[in-house]
């Protein structure tokens, strides 16, 4: 039994299983019931005998053997990264893979920061709602709009109320008018089975403009005492003319 050798496919299977157990991806291969890696193949993991090589600055080097490409990468102290595995032959590029992954992670983090997550809150009303309940519901809508969230207002009809859709429409119009300083009607009232739905969005741009204007007002330069004193005589001299203009205006 000393000359017994495990077949190559079994060795690959065991190696993949060991890598998966250690938290690896098995070099980007797919096993039955296993995890498919999204990592690009680099260096010795590239299995194609030849690649279309791209230089570190994007220059086209051409089709070379994988051994020559790995040698060029080693001489340049860079990694050989497979950027287009489905091409024939695959496209590989010389790059610093660690730096590339770090910059990609930073860009992804920045893009997530810049994304605005829109939250839609829902308020349900009845066509013949009590005035006190209406005030409570309106307060919730105002609170949601101030927080920058959209509000989906749903009027629920029951029984004979379904034959009076105008009651729900007037109620939605009243609510939109009561909160118009905080939000606008993004989706007009529409019938959806037994319900009537309207969506109100917050005035985000308006609030941002007010904040920007307030910031500009705070950054205005304060005039020096000398400048104020120098401007005082001219203002005093112009007062009679101003008075005269004010008197002659009505005439």
| pLDDT tens-digit readout, 50-63 | 999 998 888 998 99
What is the per-residue pLDDT for 113?
A: 77
Paired tokens of 8: 């190559």
What is the per-residue pLDDT for 38?
A: 65
Q: Where are the beta strands (DSSP E) in the chain?
A: 50-54, 60-65, 79-84, 91-95, 120-125, 150-156, 183-192, 195-202
Paired tokens of 46: 């590239």
CA distance 51 to 65: 6
Q: Is the peptide bond before 89 cis (omega within 30 degrees of 0)?
A: yes
Distance of CA 232 to the CA centre of its chain: 53
What is the per-residue pLDDT for 231?
A: 53
Distance of CA 109 to the CA centre of its chain: 10
| Interhelix angle 131-146/165-178, nearest 10 degrees | 50
In the numeric block, the tokens 């260096």 are attached to: 43
CA distance 39 to 190: 47
Low-confidence ranges of the chain (pLDDT < 70): 1-38, 115-117, 205-251
pTM > 0.85: yes or no: no
């Amino acid at each position: 039994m000393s000359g017994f050798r495990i077949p190559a496919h079994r060795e690959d299977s065991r190696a993949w299983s060991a890598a998966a157990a250690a938290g690896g991806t098995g070099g980007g291969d797919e096993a039955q019931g296993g995890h498919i890696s999204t990592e690009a193949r680099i260096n010795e993991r590239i299995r194609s005998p030849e690649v279309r090589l791209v230089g570190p600055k994007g220059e086209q080097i051409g089709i070379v053997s994988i051994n020559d490409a790995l040698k060029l990468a080693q001489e340049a102290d860079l990694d050989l990264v497979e950027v287009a595995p489905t091409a024939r032959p695959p496209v590989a590029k010389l790059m610093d893979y660690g730096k590339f992954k770090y910059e990609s992670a930073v860009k992804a983090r920045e893009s997530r920061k810049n994304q605005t997550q829109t939250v839609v809150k829902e308020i349900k009303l009845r066509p013949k709602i009590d005035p006190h309940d209406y005030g409570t519901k309106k307060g919730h809508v105002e609170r949601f709009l101030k927080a920058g969230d959209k509000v989906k207002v749903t009027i629920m009809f029951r029984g004979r109320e379904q034959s009076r859709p105008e009651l729900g429409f007037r109620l939605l119009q009243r609510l939109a008018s009561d909160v118009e300083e905080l939000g606008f009607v993004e989706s007009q009232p529409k019938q959806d089975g037994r319900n009537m739905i309207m969506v109100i969005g917050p005035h985000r741009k308006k609030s941002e403009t007010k904040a920007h204007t307030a910031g500009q007002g705070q950054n205005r330069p304060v005039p020096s005492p000398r400048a104020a004193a120098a401007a005082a005589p001219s203002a005093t001299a112009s007062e009679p003319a101003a008075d005269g203009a004010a008197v002659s205006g009505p005439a």
